[in-house]
């Protein structure tokens, strides 16, 4: 009997072989899927579709614009049908947000706005969306877990968002400066990220220095990863950005500004409140302020003012300075000691709960050092590390 080849043998056995289906997608289809997966992740995190509105996070507004575009794209309904278990594409297209509200050039570019050669009705405005391969690579860098003490960091993120909207801070493409230090803010994968801790310096396999970081994200998660891993992730992310520090400007100078005062006093107060938390940490809790008048006059009615915890205070230190800008000076202390701001709720004279925001858990000797650095101009070179209660160098 003559030998049969594979096809003849299968035919003799009555087995039909169905041709393999080769699944291939165009780059355009890959971009559509990748863009929709970002929206799905938002839905999984927040339990709803992204919405427009000035009060919304800028990245949520970005996803809302993207979802509107996908809803208007006929081919997206078929392409994304299996992925769209929440039914996001069947929702009503919302009123488009004013793209002029999106201050960051890179975010506008991601939407295809600002480039006259781009057809804004085309889904290719999602051209900066990362591929699935890039996303998987980023996810392998570090697993994010829930941040148990996120309430400690949330005020910082809220402040940074306000500073971005008011242009106090700006964003820079990551790559020009690849340094990463304690207190730095970045945008990674569309999320604000804050470097909350920097571990001891270690040697990487290639002989270069590295360190383990604790990074907190604006969505309430955190990750523990190496500095070089974060650098690579930011560098590969087309939307990866570094946030500039607040522009404190010259503190002393010859050109007067509207909020300048010829001479003034930085004062440090300690509360005499009987609040349990204040009583326990009285030696470390301080209020830092700036006044152009007498400190005694400023605090005369402290016991009736929620700003002073509705209690008398004692002056523990004063520093005389000349030709200074009050607003910038106060911003320096708020930026420097923001992580150490205490969270205390008290009832005002009418029984309404209030949260004074200008008290910090910082030793007096650290405040002394900060003032010295303000005087010699080196304050921008350091950040306050609450874990060690010290000013540490920005690496």
**Could you read off the pLDDT tens digit of each residue along the chain, which spans 395 residues?**
556 565 666 566 665 555 544 456 787 788 788 888 888 888 888 888 888 877 777 778 888 888 888 888 888 888 888 888 888 888 654 444 444 444 444 444 444 333 434 444 444 444 444 444 444 444 444 468 889 999 889 888 988 888 787 767 788 888 767 788 888 899 988 889 999 998 888 877 667 788 899 999 998 899 998 888 898 888 888 888 888 876 444 444 444 445 555 567 889 999 998 888 888 989 999 999 888 788 888 898 888 888 888 889 999 998 887 666 667 777 788 888 888 888 777 777 677 777 777 899 999 999 999 988 887 778 878 889 888 889 988 75
- Report the residue count for the chain: 395
The per-residue pLDDT for 216 is 94
Six token digits for residue 332: 């320096």
> Residue 82: how many CB atoms within 10 A of its CB?
7
Six token digits for residue 266: 């930085």
Nearest-CA neighbor of 181 among 237, 249, 231, 239? 231
The per-residue pLDDT for 323 is 62
Pairing status of strand 390-393 against strand 145-146: unpaired
The per-residue pLDDT for 61 is 80
CATH (one of 2.30.30.30, 1.10.10.10, 3.30.200.20, 3.30.450.40) for 132-243: 2.30.30.30
Nearest-CA neighbor of 143 among 217, 55, 37, 92? 217
Intervals of CATH 2.30.30.30 along the chain? 132-243
Instruction: Classify the C-alpha dihedral 176-178-183-186 as positive or negative.
Output: positive
């Amino acid at each position: 009997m003559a030998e049969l080849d594979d096809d003849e043998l299968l035919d003799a056995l009555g087995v039909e072989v169905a041709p393999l289906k080769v699944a291939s997608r165009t780059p355009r289809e890959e971009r559509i899927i990748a863009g929709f997966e970002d929206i799905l992740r938002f839905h999984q995190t927040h339990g709803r579709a992204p919405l427009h509105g000035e009060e919304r996070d800028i990245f949520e507004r970005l996803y809302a614009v993207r979802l509107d575009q996908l809803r208007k794209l006929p081919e997206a309904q078929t392409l994304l049908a299996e992925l769209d278990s929440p039914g996001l594409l069947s929702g009503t297209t919302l009123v488009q947000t004013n793209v002029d509200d999106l201050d960051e050039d890179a975010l506008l570019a991601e939407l295809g706005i600002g480039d006259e050669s781009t057809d804004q009705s085309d889904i290719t405005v999602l051209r900066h969306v990362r591929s699935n391969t890039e996303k998987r690579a980023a996810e392998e860098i570090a697993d994010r877990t829930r941040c148990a003490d996120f309430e400690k960091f949330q005020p910082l993120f809220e402040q940074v968002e306000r500073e971005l909207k008011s242009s106090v801070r700006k964003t820079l493409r990551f790559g020009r400066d690849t340094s990463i230090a304690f207190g730095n803010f970045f945008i990674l994968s569309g999320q604000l990220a804050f470097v909350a801790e920097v571990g001891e310096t270690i040697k990487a396999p290639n002989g270069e220095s590295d360190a383990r970081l604790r990074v907190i994200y604006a969505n309430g998660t955190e990750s523990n990863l190496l500095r070089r891993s974060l650098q690579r992730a930011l560098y590969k992310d087309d939307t990866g950005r570094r946030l500039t520090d607040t522009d404190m400007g010259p503190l002393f100078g010859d050109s007067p500004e509207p909020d300048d005062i010829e001479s003034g006093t930085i004062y440090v107060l300690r509360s005499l409140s009987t609040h349990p938390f204040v009583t326990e940490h009285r030696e470390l809790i301080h209020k830092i302020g700036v006044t152009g008048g007498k400190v005694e006059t400023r605090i005369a009615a402290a016991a009736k003012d929620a700003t002073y915890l509705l209690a008398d205070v004692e002056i523990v230190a004063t520093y005389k300075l000349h030709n200074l800008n009050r607003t910038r000076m106060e911003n320096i202390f708020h930026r420097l000691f923001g992580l150490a701001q205490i969270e205390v709720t008290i009832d005002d004279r009418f029984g309404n709960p209030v949260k004074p925001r200008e008290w910090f858990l910082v030793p007096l000797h650290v405040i002394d050092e900060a003032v010295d650095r303000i005087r010699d101009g080196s304050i921008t070179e350091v950040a306050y590390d609450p874990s060690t209660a010290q000013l540490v160098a920005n690496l």
